[in-house]
Structure 1
Amino acid sequence: MTLRQIKPGNRGFLYVNSHPEGCAAVVDELWQRTPAPTGPAVAAGPVALIIGSSAGYGLAATVAALRTYGMRGLGIAFEAPETERRTASGGWYRTARTAELAGPAGDFAFLNADAFSVAAKEQALDHLAARYGKVDYLVYSVAAPRRTDPVTGEVHHSVIKPLGSAYRAKTLQFDGDTPLVGSLELEPADDGEREATVQVMGGADWKLWIDALADRGLVRHGFHTVALSYVGSDLTAPIYRAGTIGAAKQHLEDTARRLQRDLAPLGGQAHTVVAGAAVTQASTAIPSIALYTSLLRAVLGDDFQSTDRQAAALWQQLTGAVPLQLDQEQRIRLDGWEMDEKVQGAVHERWAAATTDTLAELADTDWFRAQVGRLYGWDVPGTDYDAPARTTVAWPATS
């Protein structure tokens, strides 16, 4: 057992260290908020493969699969272990706690690997084939800065840039504990940067996973796969939906349509899922999203839907408890609460009026900052940050 006195060591939205007890407490809260099963217990639940199971919507989807549906299967995440200088990543500690909670109730393992790699696919499929035979669901929730093409070996790096013209907009910044409204200007991406972002964040790897499952005969009749996406407000569209990330999301949606055709003979389905706004490590890296999300939270208060609430709604649709809620593009929509006209109108008014002087009355920056800290296990009520913490935590065994 290693006990260490640790501090956040953060600079802005980035934290050097994660707190293991705080990360575990976040998972405990998520588990308790997730509905317990209401029907009779089943001998063996469905089999799910969740890629990106350690954070954000992937974590919420994993907890809901385990807590509500008793699913079996495998979660995949790529998390950093503890070193002499730093703690393990927040996702490492969250995964360890998720496995502890799932242990008594189900049969779900976790693999720490680069989901983009051929080796990860082979290891995951070997496990699934040996343990379960076939898979019912695949949830793809991956956000990464780079991807190595498994065929060419080329490393693609994603960028967050507008397309066509420069982007200048308000941003939320913190000078110590003081929130500020600043501005940022980004030059447009070139064709190479756009294509690289599509290669990292588009649907190429998602399709490789589905093809690999199909080649091994692991796709059960009625199989359903989804990939998490986001649309958001027109306030952030120039840097998100109309930017390099948007090009990648469009590729993801085009991939869903191709997969839908490929899976039809097996009675299968493929959709993208448009989730609502959330504070994640990926979203904090996108200019203007922090300010937008803080304003949105101030407008909605407790009606701001958490990732676990949205994950519960998603699984209800995937399992057939309620019909799929599809838009004209055949995307599952979970963001109606965010995109409501009155809500967006109120956010637009606050956005226009937001300055450093007016920020306190227009945006919930305290909530946003606390949410960022929670990604790393900080700012979690009930956690003793003055006491030494056991930072050496084993990754769950994959038998």
Structure 2
Amino acid sequence: MSERVINPRSRGFLFLDSHPAGCERLVEDMWQAVPAPPSAPGGDGPVALVIGSSAGYGLAATIAGLARAGIRGIGVCFEKAPTERRTGTAGWYRTAATAGLARAHSRDMVFLNGDAFSNSTKDQVADLLAERFGGRLDYLIYSVAAPRRTDPDTGTTYASVLKPIGEPYRTKTLVFDDQGAPEVKEVETQPAEGDDIDQTVAVMGGTDWERWIDHLADRGLLADGFSTAALSYIGSPLTAAIYRQGTIGAAKAHLEATARTLDERLGKLVGGRAVTSVNGAAVTQSSTAIPGIALYVGLLRGVLGQALVPPIAQLAKLWDQLTGAHPLTLDDEGRVRLDTWELTDSVQAHVAERWKKATTDTIGQLADLDWFHAEVQRLYGFAVPGIDYTAPVETDVPWPDPTT
């Protein structure tokens, strides 16, 4: 037993510890927020693999798939266990909570903690699919955001960077001091140089997604009609220079090109499909690291309020389209668009107007800072309604047993 009181301690948007009870409640709240399926799933649900299942949109895909589509299958993520000095990562506790809810709802969902880029993890997943899930896979959701990737064949390690392409990028950004007071300041990011673009594409493009499909296809594990979706983001013109037109954007373009290649191959192989799903803005552990994104999302919430669509609602719609509950609707580039609520001309005009006016003195009137600051804390299980943060909590939570 390792019970203790956990207080939020952070360096910028990065928290040093996570709160198990807060993470558990967040997962429960996400499950409850999923619209009920049109009819209760009967018998065994479709078999799904979610790669990057413990955080952000990958977590939303997992929970929405379980609660709405009745999936069973495997979630893959890479999290740190609790130690004597530190709690486990938030994703560790969220995975434990998700596994508990899956069991409570009679969903056979296994969670593997390992490097999704490695061949050994791919082998482990393939073996589980063959032995436990009848040797078939109906859906694969790919949602991996990582700073680096090691190619399992060559041993080469690639590192991604957040940089503009061509010229320096100067933008406003939002930060909070140790007391939580907001500050709007300008930062400058130097442009990509050398092989920065190639390295970022190697980490965050479609290479590993395609390797997963190849690996599972070689084992004969793709069911007839198999569908796969990689989760992506386009975003606002206000952040385009650092995101869609920067090194990350080059990786997203590669991801989309990979989807087109895979779609053609899967159509011939199993009558299947491959798409990218473009999601809307959200506060995630990945997005808060990008200059300007925190300010943009805070202003977007200030404009939209409750009309800002959370990840869990977006992913419920994605599952409806993948499973055929609703028609699969694609744009001219073959992408599912779950971001249309964010990118209307009206919404973007209002956000741009607030962006121009944003300073440290005015930001409190322009952005929903209380919501944004709480959302950042909730990534780590803090600021969750109904949790007593003065009470000791058990931190030594075990990883879900894959054999049960």
Q: Give the TM-score of the pair, scaled to structure 1.
A: 0.99
Structure 2 match to 1:352: 356
Question: After superposition, what is the alpha-carbon deviation per residue over 1:330-363, rounded to whole angstroms, capped at 9, x for unaligned?
Answer: 1110001000110001001000111111101101
Matched, 1:177 2:174: no
Structure 1 match to 2:229: 226
Give the secondary-structure state (helix, strand or coil) at the position aligned to 1:86: coil
Quote the Cα distance in structure 2 between the aligned partners of 1:268 and 1:366. Answer: 44
Of 350, 372, 377, 1:373 maps to 377
Aligned length: 399
More moved, 322-331 vs 46-55:
322-331
Quote the Cα distance in structure 2 between the aligned partners of 1:204 and 1:138. Answer: 15
Of 303, 324, 333, 2:328 maps to 324
Of 198, 203, 209, 2:201 maps to 198
What is the Cα deviation at residue 41 of structure 1? 3.5
Q: Residues 3 and 40 from structure 1, CA distance in 2 versus in 1: closer, same or farther, beyond 3 angstroms? A: closer
Give the AA of the match of 1:48.
A
Structure 2 match to 1:167: 169
More moved, 150-159 vs 230-239:
150-159
Of 116, 134, 138, 1:136 maps to 138
Q: Residues 329 and 20 from structure 1, CA distance in 2 versus in 1: closer, same or farther, beyond 3 angstroms? A: same
Structure 2 match to 1:32: 32
Structure 1 match to 2:70: 70
Give the AA of the match of 1:69.
A
Percent identity over paired residues:
59
Structure 1 match to 2:21: 21
Quote the Cα distance in structure 2 between the aligned partners of 1:33 and 1:191. Answer: 46
Structure 2 match to 1:113: 114
Structure 1 match to 2:159: 157
Give the secondary-structure state (helix, strand or coil) at the position aligned to 2:313: helix
Quote the Cα distance in structure 1 between the aligned partners of 2:332 and 2:11. Answer: 42
What 5-or-longer segments of structure 1 have no aligned partner? none
Give the secondary-structure state (helix, strand or coil) at the position aligned to 1:336: coil
What is the Cα deviation at residue 40 of structure 1? 4.1
Quote the Cα distance in structure 1 between the aligned partners of 2:72 and 2:158. Answer: 33
Question: After superposition, what is the alpha-carbon deviation per residue over 1:146-184, rounded to whole angstroms, capped at 9, x for unaligned?
Answer: 100111101111110000000001000112321011010
Quote the Cα distance in structure 2 between the aligned partners of 1:162 and 1:320. Answer: 39
What is the Cα deviation at residue 69 of structure 1? 2.1
Give the AA of the match of 2:334.
Q
Q: Tell me, yes or no, if the aligned pair for 2:72 and 2:107 is still in contact at 8 Å.
A: yes
Quote the Cα distance in structure 1 between the aligned partners of 2:51 and 2:40. Answer: 28
Structure 2 match to 1:306: 310
Q: Tell me, yes or no, if the aligned pair for 2:69 and 2:323 is still in contact at 8 Å.
A: no
Q: Which aligned runs of 4 or more in structure 1 are off by greater than 3 angstroms? A: none
Structure 2 match to 1:363: 367
Structure 2 match to 1:272: 276
Structure 1 match to 2:149: 147
Structure 2 match to 1:285: 289
Give the AA of the match of 1:308.
I
Give the AA of the match of 2:336.
I
More moved, 1-10 vs 47-56:
1-10
Question: After superposition, what is the alpha-carbon deviation per residue over 1:105-159, rounded to whole angstroms, capped at 9, x for unaligned?
Answer: 2111100011011110000110011112100000000001110011110111111
Of 242, 253, 259, 2:262 maps to 259
User: What is the Cα-based RMSD across aligned positions, in Å?
Assistant: 0.8
